[in-house]
Amino acid sequence: MHEPVLFALFLIFVGAALAATGALYARQSLLVGYILLGILLGPSALGWVGSPDLIKEAASLGVIFLLFLLGLNLHPQKLVQLFSAVTLTTLGSSALFAAFGFAVAWGFGFTLAESLVVGAASMFSSTIIGLKLLPATALHHQHIGEIVIGVLLLQDLLAIVTLIALQGLGTDAAGPQAMGWLLVGLPVLIAVAFGAERYLLRPLWRRFDRVQEYVFLTAIAWCLGVAELGKTMGLSYEIGAFLAGVAVANSPIARFIAESLRPLRDFFLVLYFFALGAGLDLFVLGDVLIPGLVLAGGLLVLKPLAFRGFLGLVREQRPLASEVGWRLGQMSEFALFVALVAVEGGVIGERASYLLQFATVVTFIVSSYAIGLRYPSPIAGTAALRQD
């Protein structure tokens, strides 16, 4: 029996408030509380929210708004500088993490295809955790934010290529066609976004900027519209939403838009992390417990060291490079999407899928906790480190 959506939201947000209170008293990240709440209320525990698929679908809006707000804070000129500064770090670290993930899966007896998928999923860090736990109140942290953002955006492009490759393995003709759409779609989407902002959106906001409700509604429509266009053109909702934000970053009301949409972003991100926990099946995790812990533990150690090393090669200061490494030291929510696409395409089996799910959640919990204890963040475990 499917519970009404309203009752599910009641359980989620009352539970989230209680979980957040407990997490703060325990000096842990709020994100950890939301994930554990999802596990508790999900199908494999109490079962009070028995079908989290609808929640998960709505929760994806949190990621879209997160990327849109990120784009609002980046001028196009700065974006080019970011990419040039972090290319070596991103490509070098991604290759290293992929090799480690492949070695772990192969060593525990997974097939060649499954090991390749696990390696690919290991390349990326979490966009949500990396940005959600990032303060912007001091110049030092703004520079860290620029590095983190640049790495995550380049990883997003690699993620799109990885998904296209997986789809090509599952359906013989899809890969080359999708790659062609990627090469054509990205510059076209950039041109459309900037053109529409200049000749359509900017005149409307200039004329009606005093009506705050109108600005709020058109900002949401703009974000979701460009996100949908990006998906239609073979890219992703996230890339489209980010470009939508970059396109209006020079607008004089960009700051108002960012402040208005932040509560909406937080609402959907609570749903996202709840759905992540609720989607775990505790009854089948025992089969991948050991390889999952090895994969998660190895990446939690390797990623901070690798990012610190590669950033040192481009002459970033050691403390800053170390902090960036910790902030990007987890697996990505993209790994969960990789698992879904690969299973549906018949590329990997259920066991490999659960390995990725389990390892991802472990790194989420440990990394969020470590960041909250060591570095400033909006939801740190201590008042001294809690910064917006």
Residue 122 — very low, low, confident or very high, per pLDDT cuts 50/70/90?
very high
- Cβ neighbours around 80 below 10 Å, total: 10
Domain extents in the chain: 5-374
Q: What DSSP designation does 4 have? A: P
For the segment 4-30, the average pLDDT, to the nearest whole number, is 81
Q: What is the DSSP string of 192-212?
A: HHHHHIIIIIHHHHHHHTT-H
Q: Please write the tens of the pLDDT for every residue from 47-65.
A: 777 666 666 677 778 778 8
- Assess whether pLDDT exceeds 70 at residue 138: no
- Phi, psi (rounded to 5 degrees) for 216: -60, -50
- Assess whether pLDDT exceeds 70 at residue 191: yes
Q: What is the pLDDT of residue 328?
A: 92
Proportion of the chain above pLDDT 90, given as a percent: 15
Residue 295 — very low, low, confident or very high, per pLDDT cuts 50/70/90?
very high
Q: Please write the tens of the pLDDT for every residue from 152-186.
A: 878 877 876 776 666 555 544 455 555 566 667 77
List the CATH code of the domain at 5-374: 1.20.1530.20
For the segment 60-75, the average pLDDT, to the nearest whole number, is 77
Higher pLDDT, 195 or 85: 195
- Cβ neighbours around 330 below 10 Å, total: 31
Query: For residues 190 and 149, what is the distance between their CA atoms, to the nearest angstrom?
Result: 18
Q: What is the pLDDT of residue 52?
A: 62
Q: What is the pLDDT of residue 257?
A: 84
**339 Cα distance to chain centroid:** 15
Q: What is the pLDDT of residue 50?
A: 67
List of long-range contacts for 39-43, beta carbons under 8 Å, 24+ apart: 39/277, 39/278, 39/280, 39/282, 40/15, 40/277, 41/11, 41/12, 41/15, 41/274, 41/278, 42/277, 42/278, 42/279, 42/280, 43/278, 43/281
